[in-house]
Structure 1
Amino acid sequence: MNLLSSSPSSFWGNPDLCVSCLPSGGLACTKNRSIKVCDSQSSKRDSLSRVAVALIAVASVVAVFVLAGLVCMLIVCRRCRRDLGIEHDAEIAAQEDPSSLLHKVMQATENLNDRHIVGRGTHGTVYKASLGGDKIYAVKKIVFTGHRGGNKSMVTEIQTIGKIRHRNLLKLEDFCLRKDYGLILYVYMQNGSLHDVLHGTIPPQTLEWSIRYNIAVGTAHGLEYLHYDCDPPIVHRDIKPGNILLDSDMEPHISDFGIAKLLDQQSSASAQSSLVAGTLGYMAPENAFSTKKSKESDVYSYGVVLLELITRKKALDPNIVEWVTSVWSSTEDINKIADSGLREEFLDSNIMNQAIDVLLVALRCTEKEPGRRPTMRDVVRQLVKRNASIRGKRS
């Protein structure tokens, strides 16, 4: 059927039918009113409106799905971080900036390669990092058995420990915590630990009484500071020669203060909650079957260290407390107890009497009953008083 040759009456009954007017050469507009002329602008507007509505609808649906996805991701991430005990990455003190000290130390140790290990202890492995010149650091890697090393409370406590300053406490330079391990950075102590000096070489290196006495007094000052000048007070929980480090002048620096407590807390939250804190030979009798520690237990451990300084025997070689107590009670002869390397010095009665005073302090510190032990403040007072009296006699 040829629509162009059809008469207008052929299209009657189609009220919405219209015809478009075309330019010359196309369909001409008729004046016949039987078929209305299409409004080309209205048609275009209707077409554009439908496209715009469709685009807006699609964009809205996509936006809803994207927003829902972001919300779900946020919830999941928060739950994961909470489960890992991690609250704020910035507070984990990763110090991963290439200019950071910890980053340089990691490079110097080839990411903690075993050949840089200088010691292993109860709380982890120690690596030595030389950065050139006299810049030498020690990095202690500690493993968290509870797998919650990155939690905010632990970060806060280590940051607090890092603010503690005392000449006989090892300064924390930097740290990094992760979910299952941590790195603690200290200045490297040139003379190693007191354990190394007392027992690490054969034959043993010469260790004059004056040096031993200064180590005893300095360690006492450090413990006194932890017990009475920190808020809240800090119980070390693992005093032993291995945690007393000696600088180039043989000045003692207590290490790992506060760390033992944090690790005990991690263990108590894990399946290993039955572990006993401390080191055999240095633990107070009341702590043999308990993780609970007190100032009195630190005093006991310090007393064992004093006995090692005097005798140069290890804590379990045999049980040093029982052996010294027995020999002293039966003979009261310090020469039967003290390191043979001190006998010549003991010809000076002032030195021998000072050593006896230290021995008596050690025996008081290692009393079985916690209430009978002196405080670290009492210990410092007694040691300093005796030292002052000897200086007075020599002058």
Structure 2
Amino acid sequence: MIVLAALYAFLLRWRSRRGLVDSKDTQSIDTARIAFVPMLNSFNSYKTTKKSAATMMDYTSLEAATGKFSESSVLGVGGFGCVYKASFNGGFTAAVKRFGGEAHDCEKEFENELDLLGRIRHPNIVPLVGFCIHQENRFIVYELMDNGSLDSQLHGPSHGSALSWHIRMKIALDTARGLEYLHEHCNPPIIHRDLKSSNILLDSDFNAKISDFGLAVTSGNHNKGNIKLSGTMGYVAPEYLLDGKLTEKSDVYAFGVVLLELLLGRKPVEKTAQSQCQSIVTWAMPQLTDRSKLPNIIDPMIKNTMDLKHLYQVAAVAVLCVQPEPSYRPLITDVLHSLVPLVPMELGGTLRISPESPCTAQKHSPC
């Protein structure tokens, strides 16, 4: 607990010196809906009109690029429908998210995601390519992330073997930067509301980008009565689940769960021997603050590959993020500045790796 107290005191001191965000760095979020541009006849013509916030794409081009939405093109499946890999003429590839059916929720999520992604730009937010409306179906087209989602990397066939310690810290830092943009640099602030490892996408260099803004809301434009309780089991903050109270700190809680996934290699909710479900937070919390136990619960894929001092620091940040009381959680900006010194300079942080570091002995990607 001494580690937690010291870290929290540092965050409070840093926050008091931080001051207000410079107004020229604050990106205004217009409330107007995105304007639909004329239907294009081919994808090639889209590339010449990229100045548009979002471009309406021809359904036939999406159908051809996905092999008529074949099963072999499926990248993932969610409650809204499927995401397909699309290969267009000229070698351009993209991901196509299909909102199926006529349900009101699907229509609302489509409009919400198109609206937000059409107006926000950040290196750690998945880029919008275009959209399509065809009969009862809605499609959103994104930049394709070659390494899939963090969920598939951690919990898929490779079990996180491609994610070294420092790559994991880079993913955490990238995600924190994306959240900070939403919370601190959008006006009004945006609460993602469904941050989870499957909504953190990774490009070919393992740069992380937040995706899936169908449930996102602007801060102040919601209350307990006008939005439906939504989210994913294991990531939903307790105050939102129990009282319907939703703030930026709800996203911080979800980020803390993702950080625990990166550290422990475990899913956010797992079945116990009694066929009951246990959250990663409940299971890990007693061990996260015990220096003698913490190294023993780390994901075997990264065990003994990091500086223990850094491990204790990241665990302390995770513990603060998943505090039951939202006022005890740090701002995402505080989290970001705690992670920057733990990520190597070549991966976007400020850490200089010394020759005696356990990471330098590894022959593969930076840890």
Verify same fold: TM over 0.5. Answer: yes
Distance in 1 (CA, whole Å) between partners of 2:245 and 2:103 is: 18
2:83 and 2:98 in contact (8 A); partners too: yes
1:129 aligns with 2:86: yes
Match of 1:139 among 96, 99, 105: 96
1:391 aligns with 2:351: yes
1:239 alignment counterpart: 195
What is the letter of the counterpart of residue 39 of structure 2?
Q
Q: 1:390 to 1:185 in 2, by over 3 A?
A: closer
1:261 alignment counterpart: 216
> Over residues 101-130 of structure 1, what are the superposed CA-to-partner deviations in whole Å (9 max), with x where a residue is unaligned?
532233212443444222112343101101
2:153 and 2:162 in contact (8 A); partners too: no
2:363 alignment counterpart: none
Q: 1:204 to 1:250 in 2, by over 3 A?
A: closer
2:157 alignment counterpart: 201
1:343 aligns with 2:303: yes
Deviation at 1:359, TM superposition (A): 1.1
Alignment of 1:177-196 (within 5 A): 177=133, 180-196=136-152
Q: Secondary structure at the match of 1:260?
A: coil
Alignment of 1:203-222 (within 5 A): 204-222=160-178
Deviation at 1:299, TM superposition (A): 0.3
Q: Secondary structure at the match of 1:342?
A: coil
2:288 and 2:315 in contact (8 A); partners too: no
1:378 alignment counterpart: 334
Deviation at 1:217, TM superposition (A): 0.5
2:99 and 2:106 in contact (8 A); partners too: no
Distance in 2 (CA, whole Å) between partners of 1:93 and 1:277 is: 31
Match of 1:276 among 220, 229, 236: 229
Match of 2:41 among 92, 97, 117: 97
Q: Percent identity?
A: 36
Deviation at 1:295, TM superposition (A): 0.6
Q: 1:231 to 1:359 in 2, by over 3 A?
A: same
> Over residues 225-247 of structure 1, what are the superposed CA-to-partner deviations in whole Å (9 max), with x where a residue is unaligned?
01111122111100001000000
2:260 alignment counterpart: 307
Compare CA radii of gyration and give the structure with the larger one: 1
Distance in 2 (CA, whole Å) between partners of 1:372 and 1:203 is: 32
1:296 aligns with 2:249: yes
Deviation at 1:169, TM superposition (A): 0.7
Q: 1:244 to 1:160 in 2, by over 3 A?
A: closer
Deviation at 1:313, TM superposition (A): 0.3
2:3 alignment counterpart: none
Deviation at 1:156, TM superposition (A): 8.3
TM-score, normalising length: structure 2: 0.70
Distance in 2 (CA, whole Å) between partners of 1:291 and 1:248 is: 38
Q: Which has the higher contact order (CA 8 A, sep 6+)?
A: 2
1:362 alignment counterpart: 318
> Over residues 22-51 of structure 1, what are the superposed CA-to-partner deviations in whole Å (9 max), with x where a residue is unaligned?
xxxxxxxxxxxxxxxxxxxxxxxxxxxxxx
What is the letter of the counterpart of residue 135 of structure 1?
F
1:333 alignment counterpart: 293
What is the letter of the counterpart of residue 232 of structure 2?
T
> Over residues 285-328 of structure 1, what are the superposed CA-to-partner deviations in whole Å (9 max), with x where a residue is unaligned?
11225665321110000000000000000001241101111123
Distance in 1 (CA, whole Å) between partners of 2:165 and 2:120 is: 30
1:77 alignment counterpart: none
> Over residues 120-167 of structure 1, what are the superposed CA-to-partner deviations in whole Å (9 max), with x where a residue is unaligned?
12343101101256411000012463178389xx85873452231111
Distance in 2 (CA, whole Å) between partners of 1:326 and 1:279 is: 23
1:65 alignment counterpart: none
Q: Secondary structure at the match of 2:269?
A: coil
2:73 and 2:85 in contact (8 A); partners too: yes
Distance in 1 (CA, whole Å) between partners of 2:105 and 2:283 is: 41
Distance in 2 (CA, whole Å) between partners of 1:352 and 1:297 is: 29
Deviation at 1:329, TM superposition (A): 4.0
Q: Secondary structure at the match of 1:341?
A: coil
Q: 1:322 to 1:147 in 2, by over 3 A?
A: closer
Q: Secondary structure at the match of 2:99?
A: strand
TM-score, normalising length: structure 1: 0.66
Distance in 1 (CA, whole Å) between partners of 2:216 and 2:95 is: 21
Distance in 2 (CA, whole Å) between partners of 1:155 and 1:196 is: 27
Deviation at 1:344, TM superposition (A): 3.1
What is the letter of the counterpart of residue 175 of structure 1?
F
> Over residues 151-187 of structure 1, what are the superposed CA-to-partner deviations in whole Å (9 max), with x where a residue is unaligned?
9xx8587345223111111011112346854211101
* More divergent stretch after superposition (156-165 vs 209-218): 156-165
1:92 and 1:176 in contact (8 A); partners too: no
Distance in 2 (CA, whole Å) between partners of 1:168 and 1:246 is: 10
Q: Let me know the Cα RMSD of the aligned residues.
A: 3.1
What is the letter of the counterpart of residue 163 of structure 2?
L
Structure 2: stretches of 5+ with no match in the other structure: 1-32, 47-56, 218-222, 271-277, 356-367
Structure 1: stretches of 5+ with no match in the other structure: 1-87, 263-267
1:66 alignment counterpart: none
> Over residues 243-300 of structure 1, what are the superposed CA-to-partner deviations in whole Å (9 max), with x where a residue is unaligned?
000000011011013x2137xxxxx9xxxx9953110011101122566532111000
User: How many residues were matched structurally?
Assistant: 291
2:360 alignment counterpart: none
1:92 and 1:178 in contact (8 A); partners too: no
* More divergent stretch after superposition (298-307 vs 176-185): 176-185
